[in-house]
Amino acid sequence: MKDGFIKVAAAAVPLSVADVHYNAREIREVISLADTENINLLVFPELCLTGYSCGDLFYSDTLKKGALDALKELCAYTYGKYPVCVVGLPFQYGAKLYNCAAVLHGGKILGLVPKSVLPNYGEFYEKRQFTSGSELPENMEVTIGNKTVPFGTKLLFRHEELEDFCVGVELCEDLWADVPPSNSLCQSGATIIANPSASDEVIGKEGYRRMLVSATSARLLCGYVYSNAGPDESTQDMVFSRHNIVAENGVILKENKPFCDNTLTVSEIDVKKLIAERHRSTSFRPKFGKDYKTVLFSQPIVKTLLTRSFAKNPFVPDSSVERSERAEAILKIQAYGLKKRLAHAHAKTAVIGVSGGLDSTLALLVTAKAMDLLNRPRTDIVAVTMPCFGTTKRTKSNAQLLSEQLGVTLKEVDITAAVRQHFKDIGQDESSLDVTFENCQARERTQVLMDIANKTGGMVIGTGDLSELALGWATYNGDHMSMYAVNCSVPKTLVRYIVAFEADRSGEDLKNVLYDILDTPVSPELLPTDENGEIAQKTEDLVGPYELHDFFLYHMLRFGYSPQKLYRLCRSAYRDDYDPETILHWLKVFLRRFFMQQYKRSCIPDGPKVGSVTLSPRGDWRMPSDAAATLWLSEAENILPE
């Protein structure tokens, strides 16, 4: 439960139709198993105490009384057990029978939730035996044994300490309805919906069921635990498949495929992430009315053992097909954005500094596509290579070859003499390889680009990426500045895949150049080369691995995760790649740099938004330039590597 991870399970249970004592014994066994695994929320199938397919046996007083007696026994069994359990049974109130889910915990029946939408079509005829719970008055109570129990469709079950852990219940067909109960349950505070279900298996229903659960969790920004009846229910014309699903905000976290034998379908729902999403989304409209009754329960808050995995590169899809689709989509967004800017500005040229590195390569590829879209010759692109102290033969050659292969106009402006003159003007000792030594070169390059743009009636295309913006790894009013920054919302980990995607669909000569660029260490090349003429200044040696920084960036901006949670998730994702001390070290570096460098982000040029995480001060990220990092760094300092 720490960090907001709620361990949930959809349960499969051996079942004998109408044999409540057998069913109760089997349910107890599953509860015991879930208790040993510290399951917070355990959801059983619809009417699991009796079986869903009892038909007109539901008219029998013997069956109804047996189910109620079994419920009392189960309730007593939950005393001292960890899980909150959702168990299905028929419950009679007055002259009517209701298809209910009983929520049990700590030896108590926390509440009874009746089904609202009763299917009465095809193979279903629930209205023959049951009455809709939507017809009941609000805030009802019933007596079971000598205890008063809340009864109705408007019940919420909330943890006493972790308020974000709040459960609402709907049953099977409720999910299929035009206005499902989960809508108002989530608006009223539920972060997880439990659905005890008995959905029979027919061709096409598996995918439809999965789509409904996934879409509902996405639309309501909630977790969803769907527990479906198993093959033991199969009778006459219906076959049930034990298709259990756990979803979170549109993502299927875990699934028991139809007819697979798994007792528990377990995953962890991140309720703090869901709350952050609701906070962020103005489309999510809470309504805190008095008509919903909240029932509190208590569980010890323990560190949840995570079974779900976290992508090492959250910006990059795991599937090669999805990666290609994403690369194609991003290239189009970038190119069409630049096309509009060039046309609107009546720019005669697009001027871009090419270094032989990844970022400028991607920017040049995008600019070439934009010119193609404008039906203009690629010679209207002026690619400028500006060698100086740190330029290597390899990068200079690749810049030239790339420009030739793309058919753009190439200019070379050696800035060495100009930088030395500037050193002389400001009294900079050339032997002092400090930040001034580096930034003088970056600003001279920007001046050259800007002036060439003026001279040719064009505009400067920026090359810096999202990861560099996050770390402030740019020279203020140097490579920090342009007239349109095409890479500004593309993280470094994704730049590489996009360039590789373009390489794989290019001719052999261009492909060879692009792959050599991909193999070149990331560097601003602002320090002199080594004795072999190779790159001496490698960015990731200085600021840390971009894959870690992109991981921190994504989860901090997208979900508001704390340093402790960032560290925990990064440890889970990179357990085999980095030791705990290394991850913690670079996390602290990321936090310090992210807060210190906001002033650079507050005045960045326009550029196309391509994903859900961007740092534009006009779009997704509005942060004061002078915000203190004290709280974040203090939390990071107190993390113990493990």
Catalytic (active-site) positions: 46, 115, 172
User: Which residue intervals of 18-59 are DSSP H helices?
Assistant: 20-36
Helix (H) or strand (E) holding 11: strand 5-11
Which 8-state DSSP code applies to residue 176? G
Nearest to 191 by CA among 286, 256, 99: 286
**Could you tell me the two tokens for 43?**
């959801």
Q: Are 629 and 596 in contact (CB under 8 A)?
A: yes
Q: Are 165 and 271 in contact (CB under 8 A)?
A: yes
For 96-119, b/e burial (b = at least 16 CB within 10 A) is ebbbbbbbbbeebbbbbbbbbbbb
Q: Are 295 and 157 in contact (CB under 8 A)?
A: yes
Chain centroid to CA 13: 32
Nearest to 150 by CA among 160, 135, 136, 140: 140
Strands annotated E in 482-592: 484-485
Q: Measured at the alpha carbon of residue 10, what is the angle toward residues 129 and 84, in degrees to the nearest 5?
A: 85
User: Tokens 């108590």 sit at which residue?
Assistant: 108
**CA separation (Å) from 597 to 21, 308, 562, 625?**
66, 34, 19, 8
Q: Which long-range contacts (CB under 8 A, 24 or more apart) does 450-453 make?
A: 452/351, 452/382, 452/384, 452/411, 452/413, 453/349, 453/351, 453/483
Residue 41's DSSP bridge partners are 8, 84
Strands annotated E in 78-191: 84-93, 96-105, 108-114, 140-144, 147-151, 155-159, 166-169
DSSP states of 395-428: HHHHHHHHHHHHT-EEEE---HHHHHHHHHHHT-
Q: Are 126 and 99 in contact (CB under 8 A)?
A: yes
Which 8-state DSSP code applies to residue 121? S
Regarding beta strands 5-11 and 41-43, do their DSSP bridges make them parallel or antiparallel, or are they unpaired? parallel
